[in-house]
Amino acid sequence: AQSVTQLDSHVSVSEGTPVLLRCNYSSSYSPSLFWYVQHPNKGLQLLLKYTSAATLVKGINGFEAEFKKSETSFHLTKPSAHMSDAAEYFCVVRVSGTYKYIFGTGTRLKVLA
Amino acid sequence: NAGVTQTPKFRVLKTGQSMTLLCAQDMNHEYMYWYRQDPGMGLRLIHYSVGEGTTAKGEVPDGYNVSRLKKQNFLLGLESAAPSQTSVYFCASSDPGVETQYFGPGTRLLVL
């Protein structure tokens, strides 16, 4: 069965420093993977998605993620954090053969001035 | 376009009461979903629909029912609310092959 594990429940970075949010997946098939962002008291918004094309995926607001099959990872990165990046981030995998999605437990990103 | 809207935004229920949450989307999407979000647990799928008149169970369907009588609407019902159903409920919609879910702003439900 597919699943995703977000390795950190909370991450704090200083403004202007790199962001790394870690996600490992479990899947017997080539997975479809996603990162969503949720700002406080808001709905979720898609940041980026991997659907078996290029392994380095660029998303909105300067975020990118790299699909590494050998490591079963799909970590989210950004070179320089901005205060507006403070939010909760979810790694998501689609259940193969369906249009159901499994969400990770989330990583709350705090950006310090 | 309003995107995905949810009604109501906030509700307080007493144990045993019933209510219906309404989700509406104006993007003509085929697929619609209901999730619940609880602290530390991410989003969990309650029910989903792949087209008008069809529904299916997700991970946590017990205590909920759904209906999709019109393509643009997806209703989530609680027949007899329990404190364990206190949560934030999100609706989402998407289209086949596009793989982007569009989320509503959420409904915060408190069951006393």
Name the burial class of residue B11, with classes exposed (0-12), middle (13-18) and buried (19+) by CB atoms within 10 angstroms of its CB: middle
A39 close contact with B: CB closer than 8 A? no
Count of other CB atoms within 10 angstroms of residue B39: 9
CB contact (8 A) between residue B40 and residue A9: yes
DSSP state of B15: T
Counting one residue from A and one from B, how many pairs have CB atoms under 8 Å apart? 49
The boundaries of the domain holding residue A63 are 3-112
CATH code for the domain in which residue A40 is found: 2.60.40.10
B40 near A CB under 8 A: yes
> From CA B87, how far away is CA B90, in angstroms rounded?
10
- pLDDT(B10) > 90: yes
In 10 A of CB A67, how many CB atoms? 21
A56 pLDDT more than 80: yes
Q: Percent helix, strand, coil in chain B (nearest 5)? A: 5, 55, 45
Q: pLDDT confidence of A86, banded at 50, 70, 90?
A: very high
pLDDT digits (tens, 9 = 90+) for B40-98: 888 999 999 999 999 999 999 999 999 999 999 999 999 999 999 999 999 999 988 78
Rg (CA), chain A: 13
Residues in chain B with CB shorter than 8 Å from the CB of A94 are 99
Calculate mean pLDDT across residues B11-28.
96
How many domains does chain A divide into? 1
Confidence grade of residue A23 (pLDDT, cut at 50, 70, 90)? very high
pLDDT value at position B49?
A: 96
Of B96, B101, B106, which has the smallest distance from its Cβ to A101's Cβ? B101
- Residue A53's pLDDT band (cuts 50, 70, 90): confident
Distance from CA of A111 to the nearest CA of B (A): 20
**B97 interfacial to chain A (CB closer than 8 Å):** no
